[in-house]
């Protein structure tokens, strides 16, 4: 990355996440954003919403709780938070950029469809605000999280991305490798990967003899394909993936036009 993006600063940045208003990753994101702007606003879920995907709360009332002049919590999903932030809290003076994260754990491959972190960026994109989702990879069962890796590299990655720009209807998904900053490789532009997902349901029996289940983290026995987010992060590189909200599969659309 060139040095010139260091000069780029933003008038106003909105932060959100899916790990909740008190999550360590959100504190990391605040420090990242402080290097980019002096006007930082936060609107995040009251409680953890991992796996909420791009869901809206339609059958329960939503409440905004003001914790400080520019910090708010919402009793809903990440999508709810961004919607309320942009259409209520900041409706008269919207932000220039939405940053979501830093998520505890990567959001790559199929994770993208489940991720509340990515969903917050999707909602901002739909509402016309450029958005970047950021996640810090951790290995299964590992207690130490390399937050300093995301904190060190994110500001320059964000500046470079915003300096280059990306099309409307798209967002950027960034994943940092599970290693110390000194061991992290360069940025790699990647496509969304695919994995053969293994069954990770944990069936247990409660004291009354009834079965219940825990859904574990996604597992895979496949080798990540080169050029994907999975391969980049596995190789200790920083993955940057542009994601388009139009899910239409163009080749199939073209072929079906010959049928209908």
Total length of the chain: 260
| Phi-psi group of 25: left, alpha or beta (phi > 0 → left; psi -120 to 50 → alpha; rest → beta) | alpha
Residue range 62-101, pLDDT digits in tens: 999 999 999 999 999 999 999 999 999 999 999 999 999 9
The mean per-residue pLDDT over the stretch 220-227 comes to 80
pLDDT tens, 144-185? 899 999 999 999 999 999 999 999 999 999 999 999 999 999
**Phi, psi values for residue 254, rounded to 5°:** -65, -45
- Spatial neighbors of 256 by CB under 8 A, at least 6 apart, are none
Tens of pLDDT along 1-50? 444 445 557 899 999 999 999 999 999 999 999 999 999 999 999 998 88
Average pLDDT for residues 201-209, to the nearest whole number? 90
> What is the structure's pLDDT at 8?
57
| Domains annotated on the chain, with CATH | 4-193+224-256 (3.40.1210.10)
User: Rounded distance, CA 80 to CA 84, Å?
Assistant: 6
């Amino acid at each position: 990355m060139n040095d010139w993006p260091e000069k780029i600063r933003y008038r106003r940045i909105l932060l959100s996440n899916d790990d909740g208003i008190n999550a360590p990753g959100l504190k990391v994101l605040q420090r990242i954003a402080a290097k980019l702007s002096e006007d930082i606003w936060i609107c995040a879920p009251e409680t953890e919403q991992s796996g909420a995907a791009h869901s809206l709360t339609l059958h329960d009332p939503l409440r905004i709780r003001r914790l400080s002049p520019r910090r708010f919590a919402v009793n809903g999903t990440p999508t709810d938070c961004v919607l309320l932030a942009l259409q209520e809290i900041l409706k008269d003076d919207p932000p220039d950029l939405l940053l979501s994260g830093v998520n505890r754990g990567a959001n790559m491959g199929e994770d993208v469809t489940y991720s509340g972190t990515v969903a917050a960026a999707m909602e901002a994109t739909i509402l016309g605000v450029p958005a970047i989702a950021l996640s810090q990879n951790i290995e299964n069962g590992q207690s130490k999280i390399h937050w300093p890796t995301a904190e060190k590299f994110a500001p320059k990655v964000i500046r470079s991305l915003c300096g280059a720009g990306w099309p409307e209807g798209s967002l950027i998904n960034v994943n940092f490798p599970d290693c110390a900053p000194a061991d992290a490789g360069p940025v790699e532009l990647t496509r969304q990967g695919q994995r053969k997902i293994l069954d990770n349901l944990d069936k247990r029996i409660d004291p009354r003899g009834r079965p219940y289940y825990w859904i574990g983290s996604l597992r895979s026995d496949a080798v990540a394909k080169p050029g994907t987010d999975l391969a980049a992060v596995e190789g200790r590189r920083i993955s940057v993936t542009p994601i388009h909200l139009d899910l239409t599969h163009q080749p199939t659309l073209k072929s079906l036009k010959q049928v209908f």
